[in-house]
Structure 1
Amino acid sequence: MTEERPVLVATEADDVTADMVITELNRRGVPVVRFNPAEIGDGLTVSARYGIRPAHAAGRMLTPSRAAHLDDARAVYWRRPTWPAFPHLSPDDARFAAAQTRYGLGGVLHALTGPLWVNHPLRNAEADYKPHQLAQAERLGLAVPATLITNDPDEAREFVAAHHAVIHKTLRATSYQRDGVPVVSWAEQVTAEEIDDRVRVVPHLFQERIGKTCDVRVLVVGRQVFAVRIESDLLDWRRDYSALAYSVITLPAALEAALLAFLGTFGLMSGSFDLAVDHADTYWFLELNPNGQWGWLEEHTGLPMAAAFADLLTQGESR
């Protein structure tokens, strides 16, 4: 039995990946307080004091089933929380209430310096910029495909024409609907003829297509590195998970060290990297998801990913 210091888990109601970690923490006897900012009100109460003693009363969180002194938290697993939209209020009142929640509850949590964050939301946000990722990958000596980010259609056409094959990717995955139909943005190959003046509206990411033999998803948890080879005939393997084959691999030592250093520059304790491997066995950096999904990989490979997160959240380090 571990000492009675809870792990706070911030996530949405239906999060199978978080459930896997919580199950492992429960097995170890580690107290868990699960909450979602969207439940503020009857489902979530937070209080914090500043400039008042005793210091132990500085922060408190209550859910319908749990209570925690925030200063006692050993770790915060910032998984997939959602923020309230307040649909019962007028649009102006809803925006006001949402801002008070984000900067009130969010501010109280961000101020915590005692617990280990996996990952701190401010660090996640900084690492979520793809241009920043690509520049950092280059600085660390990782192979980066030729990439152009622009809203200049002439420059985009010139870039596409200069390479054998080019794909277009979104700069950030964003859930939205068009005429009531959910829109999903996949990586797509693009030709110079397809580029028109609509490119001027927002920046676009164009990237040289790597002649890959496979994709690799790498999950880093603390100092533990899990690498999975993903084989398919798809340009974007996320299109069809049923068409994928998985195998566990070991990364070259220099690549593993570079990925650990990459996370360190952003102050992240965990992250999911997407790499592509070409016919010369070169590993190409594609992107980092600082809070990527990994649950399905554990199910297919048996890798102890949930246990690694439990190690990190409980002990502050991985075995």
Structure 2
Amino acid sequence: MKNKILIITHTEDNFSIDKVTEYIEANGFEVIRFDVDLYPLHNKLSTGYQNGNWESFLENADGKFRLDDIATVWYRRAYNIGNGLKEELEDKFFGAAMGEIRNTLFGFLESLDCYSLGKPSVYRRLDSKEEQLKIASKIGFKIPETCITNNPDEARAFIAENKDVITKMQTGFAIYEDGVENVVFTNLINEDNLEELDGLIYCPMQFQKKIDKKKELRVTVVGQDIYAFEIDSQQSEDAKVDWRKDGVNLLQKWVKTDLPSEIENKIIRLLDVYNVDYGAIDIILSPEDEYYFIEINAAGEFFWLDNLTEDNLISKSIADLLCHKAQRRDNTVLI
């Protein structure tokens, strides 16, 4: 029986890795951790084909591990790949080297012939907010009126039609200025912003009709398990448009909630369409008790909600999935 589970993450990841690891080891499996920010300067990855067989090895501070015979891989995070390399190479070589590093690492992950909870290609697909909204709408979710454009005239027409409009980027990122990290949150459009829309020719944005909020929901799905939590984000002035603006102060104010069976069925259908076993879904519950799908995050964070469950049940569900103690969707390379 194969009993090794590979976790792809980075050295600064949070304690959720440790909780999942505890449950995995309690199930009798061995965990191999691959911190990608230590690759390639400190971690060595090798794959070869000889005498009709493929073999792959990871060498890190803990030793040398064979990876072609693992049972499962959890592609959790891939932050800061190639950390420290820029200081080691001339600028003219750095870009090419990073291209090879990423291609090698992601090619290895894609080709592992075992069950994978997350893959680079899956994350790339789920980066498309447009496809998410189209799929969600097609399976019966309510979604906000939406415009994705780099055309200032189209944006102004959409805003004029829908009045209260929010805008957000389609990818998560921050802008660093004078060493300070400025996260780009969701914002409400006002008259002052209308003059700034000409800048869309440089970068497209997503615009949506503002949905009044009775509650905001974060729904973490692991296989067939659904963990739904809600918060009254309107209790905080800073959090009314984007709860993350006051996220630290709201961490302990999330409460577990139940979803109507029809919403749960649509959520499971959504994961079936994508053929994934993990997703962190953002939903708005309107004052009229209508559920609006906002987005699904392929590797969305769950640790603060996990701490609100008894015995870190989300971590347990992830471990059970990785150890094949729970129903999962087949995504092996060769079927």
Matching of residues 298-313 of structure 1 within 5 Å: 298-302=306-310, 304-313=313-322
User: 2:185: which partner in 1?
Assistant: 186
Matching of residues 67-106 of structure 1 within 5 Å: 67-82=64-79, 83-85=81-83, 86-87=85-86, 88-106=88-106
Distance 2:175 2:35 in 1: 22
Q: Deviation of residue 144 (structure 1)?
A: 0.3
Distance 1:123 1:317 in 2: 21
> 2:168·2:206 contact (CA, 8 Å) conserved in 1?
yes
> 1:11·1:34 contact (CA, 8 Å) conserved in 2?
yes
Cα displacement string for residues 87-141 of structure 1 (whole angstroms, at most 9, x for unaligned residues): 121122111221221112321221112x211111111110111111111111111
Distance 1:140 1:175 in 2: 33
Distance 1:264 1:127 in 2: 13
Letter of the 1:144 counterpart: I
Letter of the 2:291 counterpart: Y
Matching of residues 209-288 of structure 1 within 5 Å: 209-233=210-234, 234=239, 235-241=241-247, 242-243=249-250, 245-288=253-296
Q: Deviation of residue 41 (structure 1)?
A: 4.1
Distance 1:230 1:318 in 2: 30
Q: Deviation of residue 18 (structure 1)?
A: 1.8
Q: Percent same amino acid at aligned positions? A: 28
Distance 2:63 2:225 in 1: 31
Distance 1:60 1:316 in 2: 27
Letter of the 1:205 counterpart: Q
Flag structure 2 segments of 5+ consecutive residues without an equivalent: 329-335
Matching of residues 155-174 of structure 1 within 5 Å: 155-174=154-173
User: 1:10: which partner in 2?
Assistant: 8
Distance 1:78 1:219 in 2: 16
| CA RMSD across the alignment | 1.9
User: 2:331: which partner in 1?
Assistant: none
> 2:164·2:210 contact (CA, 8 Å) conserved in 1?
yes
Q: Could you say what secondary structure the match of 2:214 adopts?
A: strand
Letter of the 1:249 counterpart: T
Letter of the 1:13 counterpart: T
> 2:5·2:32 contact (CA, 8 Å) conserved in 1?
yes
Q: Could you say what secondary structure the match of 1:35 adopts?
A: strand
Q: Could you say what secondary structure the match of 1:254 adopts?
A: helix
Q: Deviation of residue 216 (structure 1)?
A: 0.5
> 1:5·1:74 contact (CA, 8 Å) conserved in 2?
yes
Q: Deviation of residue 179 (structure 1)?
A: 3.5
User: 1:58: which partner in 2?
Assistant: 55
Q: Could you say what secondary structure the match of 1:59 adopts?
A: strand
Alpha carbons of structure 1 residues 74 and 66: separation in structure 2 relative to 1, 3 Å: farther
Q: Deviation of residue 35 (structure 1)?
A: 0.9
Flag structure 1 segments of 5+ consecutive residues without an equivalent: none
Q: Deviation of residue 269 (structure 1)?
A: 1.5
Q: Deviation of residue 313 (structure 1)?
A: 0.5
> 1:210·1:278 contact (CA, 8 Å) conserved in 2?
yes
